[in-house]
Amino acid sequence: MKKSSPSKSKPTEPAKSRREIKKFWTEEGELDLSEASKKKRAQIIEAALDTFLELGYEGASMNLVAERAGVIKQTIYSHFQDKQSLFREVIKTLTVDYVQNALKKPELIGQPLPAVLREIAETILARHQDPRHIRFVRTMIGEAERFPELAKLFTDTTVKPVLKLVVTLIANQKDYRFADPDSFARVFIGTVVNHCLQQHILHGRELLPFDSTRLVDELVRLVDMHRK
């Protein structure tokens, strides 16, 4: 009787780690985020913000963020590639996302350029009323000398997108003409940010108080001067 040859078993593939299975920090991965994953991501960002504020960039470890967020460290790495990526998301959540969400108000649809730019200015000013935001800016300034890459990260994540937003708004309208939209964007945003730093970081509210409403009104009048 012919003996049957033993069946060859397929080689067992190594088990994939959770990080290999889920990479929500990729563009494809972000599209797969469930509501539960979005909630967990928000928990991580919130815990990271508190940790950065308390310990600074160098002192904030992924282990501690995981502990405070109530997740395992591997979960953080499924959402963020590394600590710098997590820090970038914290900055983005505190700044650019806040401005862009404000511009989604239905009442702003179809509004003229001065009204939209006023909303941007008032949103930035309102953000600086948040004590945690002020603490975060102070932390960034304090860490910038030791970690120059953080200053670059802050500029790339915050300053550049907001400037680009203003330049895009100018380009997408026809009622106002600007010889140099990039320069105007820097004048507009730079004036607002400088006021915030003066008043909230450098104790200007006690030493050099100034009503932010007057500042915004003057900036809007400057915009109106560019009407065709």
d(CA 128, CA 95): 10
pLDDT at 171: 94
The C-alpha atoms of residue 89 and residue 193 are separated, in whole angstroms, by 20
Question: How far apart (Å, rounded) are the C-alpha atoms in residues 7 and 10?
Answer: 9
Amino acid at 38: K
Question: pLDDT at position 199, please?
Answer: 96
Six token digits for residue 221: 């009048």
Closest CA to 17 of 86, 72, 85: 72
Q: What is the pLDDT of residue 14?
A: 43
**Spatial distance between the Cα atoms of 55 and 62, rounded to a whole number of angstroms:** 12
Residue 7 has a pLDDT of 47
Residues in the chain: 228
**191 phi and psi angles, rounded to 5 deg:** -65, -45
Torsion from C-alpha of 182, 184, 185, 190, nearest 10 degrees: 120
Task: Supply the pLDDT for residue 105.
Answer: 83
Encode the chain (228 residues) as per-residue pLDDT tens digits: 444 444 444 444 444 444 444 555 454 545 556 888 888 999 999 999 999 989 988 899 999 999 999 999 999 998 999 998 998 898 888 888 888 888 888 888 889 999 999 999 999 999 999 998 899 899 888 888 888 888 888 888 888 999 999 999 999 999 999 999 999 999 999 999 999 999 999 999 999 999 999 999 999 999 999 999
Other Cβ atoms closer than 10 A to 112: 14
Return the pLDDT at 150: 84
pLDDT at position 25: 47
* Fold classified for 18-89: Arc Repressor Mutant, subunit A (1.10.10)
Predicted local distance difference test score (pLDDT) of residue 76: 92
Give the three-class secondary structure for 148: helix
Q: Which residues are CB-contacts of 93 (< 8 A; sequence separation ≥ 6)?
A: 45, 49
Question: Model's pTM, two decimal places?
Answer: 0.76
CA dist 94 and 43 (Å) reads: 14
Q: Residue 12: what pLDDT?
A: 43
Distance CA(18)–CA(132), nearest Å, equals: 33
pLDDT at 26 (0 to 100): 52
Tell me, what amino acid is at 83? K
Q: Where are the domains of the chain?
A: 18-89, 96-224
The whole-number pLDDT of residue 32 equals 59
pLDDT of residue 33: 67
Which amino acid is present at 129?
Answer: Q
Token pair for residue 214?
């007057």
Per-residue pLDDT, 140: 86
Please tell me the distance from the alpha carbon of residue 79 to that of residue 169, in angstroms, as a whole number: 32
CA distance 188 to 120: 10
| Closest C-alpha to 85, from 144, 44, 37 | 44
pLDDT of residue 16: 44
